[in-house]
Amino acid sequence: MQYVRLGNSGLEVSRICLGTLNFGSPAWRSWILDEEGARPLFRQAVELGINFFDTADTYSGGECEVVTGKLLAQFFPGSRREEAVIATKVFNPVDIAFEGDRAADFRRRPNKDGLGRKRILHAVDASLQRLGVDYIDLYQIHRFDPHTPLEESLEALHDVVKAGKVRYLGASSMWAWQFAKIQQLAREHGWSRCISMQNHYNLVYREEEREMIPLCQDQGVALLPWSPLARGFLAAQGDGAAASARAAADRTTQRFYGRPEDLATRARLHALAAEKGVSAATLAYAWLLHKGVTSPIVGASKPQQIEEAVRAASVTLTPQEIAQLDSGYAPRPVLGHS
């Protein structure tokens, strides 16, 4: 396993991050794995050298953090806790009821979501309790909050860092101007700045290359893309068969991906993967690593999927091969900011 610094910080993370959205309670989504189902995947990740784990308070209504914390305590016991990098997020409601793939009512009760001071201070303590840890390594803004003064949010986040509850701050999908404003206000006030951006980026969704990625690269902010396989679309066979139970049941996949241009990109990916003797998933991750990504957030329901992701760090792509994969991309509407 290769390890790199997270942005301009001193924090060392593996080139692959295990995303934990798949783990928690099947009552939240039919394809979610409970603690026993998740254990072999955590074991595989740790054995392969992964030390970076990403979750969120909203996943499985908080149960994902519980499962993640229990399993990391088993695989990083005692003094080994320092080796593990635990990332979680704040913004969405934790106890929200879901219907299929859409929230039943996103903002139905006061102070249960967003980035107000009350919400942040409560949320960080609740996440610490669910995870069973004394501190969170990377605390991320899950989405931009247009309803709360930004100064209020950033000062509260800085306070949880100074209180020792959080080591570093990060952010997730938003407009580049919003992230630039966050960083500038934090700089002006002497508050903690974000060292990472977890954005939507993969071979069939590259709109982030216009503004957000150049901004992050210029400012030394780590890129931690979510959905690196386009929710399984890129790993699916050419006939369109779903690569996983999640992909088969996930209506968001069907809304986000599947244009003729996407199908052509997937065909090029699979053809080049066959030439290089690797899986399409491995090649899709390798493409991201060659694009300056620090650590893609990998979702897995089988140990083999983690192996495929880790293998990507040893795959070399020539400029010609990258151009081959890049060719044919067509601009599309921005997806994933809300």
Which helix (DSSP H) or strand (DSSP E) does residue 111 occupy?
Answer: none
Active site residue 3: no
**Torsion region of 40: left, alpha or beta (phi above 0 gives left; psi -120 to 50 gives alpha):** alpha
Closest by CA position to 96, among listed 23, 27, 199: 27
* CB within 8 Å of 193: residues ≥ 6 apart: 169, 182, 183, 186, 187
Closest by CA position to 47, among listed 39, 57, 59: 39
Residue recorded with tokens 């106890």? 95
- 59 vs 74, 194, 333, CA distance in Å? 21, 22, 26
Q: Which residues of 102-117 are buried (b: 16+ CB within 10 A; e: fewer)?
A: ebeeeeeeeeebbbbe
Distance, C-alpha 62 to centroid of its chain: 16
Q: Where are the beta strands (DSSP E) in the chain?
A: 3-5, 12-14, 17-19, 52-54, 85-90, 98-99, 102-103, 136-141, 166-172, 194-198, 222-223, 297-298
Residue 202 carries which DSSP code?
B
Q: Are strands 85-90 and 102-103 parallel, antiparallel or unpaired?
A: unpaired
Distance, C-alpha 190 to centroid of its chain: 27
Q: Which residues are catalytic?
A: 59
